[in-house]
Amino acid sequence: MTNVEMIDRLSSLATELEQRVYSQTGKNSRSALAQLNRVRGLIAVYLDRALVEDEAAYQNAIRDLGGAIDTLKKADQDIQKVSAAIALTAKVLDTAEQLAKKL
């Protein structure tokens, strides 16, 4: 997976989160907005730095981003599903931010 693919997945995640910011209310909307800001920061980091693409942690982050995107896409207006998707996204962002700090 290349930096471009990582940025592409982060951008896809940002798109999904943007939709949740505007389609949800209260805590879900605020959580999605906070995560959207985190994703935007990660995009900037990955644009700015070169990554070692064969590292297992990097590959796992790519896979987890894909899972978070899929989960958000599948979550409908059911508040519990959206809350669970937002919680999963938070964990994935934690991992991606930890990787970015090692750059």
**Per-residue model confidence as pLDDT tens digits over 58-71:** 777 778 888 888 88
Q: Which of 62, 22, 26 minimizes the C-alpha distance to 42?
A: 62
Specify the pLDDT at position 10. Answer: 92
pTM score: 0.62
Q: Which residues does 61 contact at the CB level (< 8 Å), separation at least 6? A: 6, 92, 95, 96, 99
pLDDT, average across residues 33-37? 93
Domain layout of the chain by residue ranges? 3-101
Average pLDDT of every residue of the chain: 81
Summarised one tens digit per residue, pLDDT across range 81-101 is: 778 888 888 888 888 888 888
CB 46 within 8 A of CB 3: yes
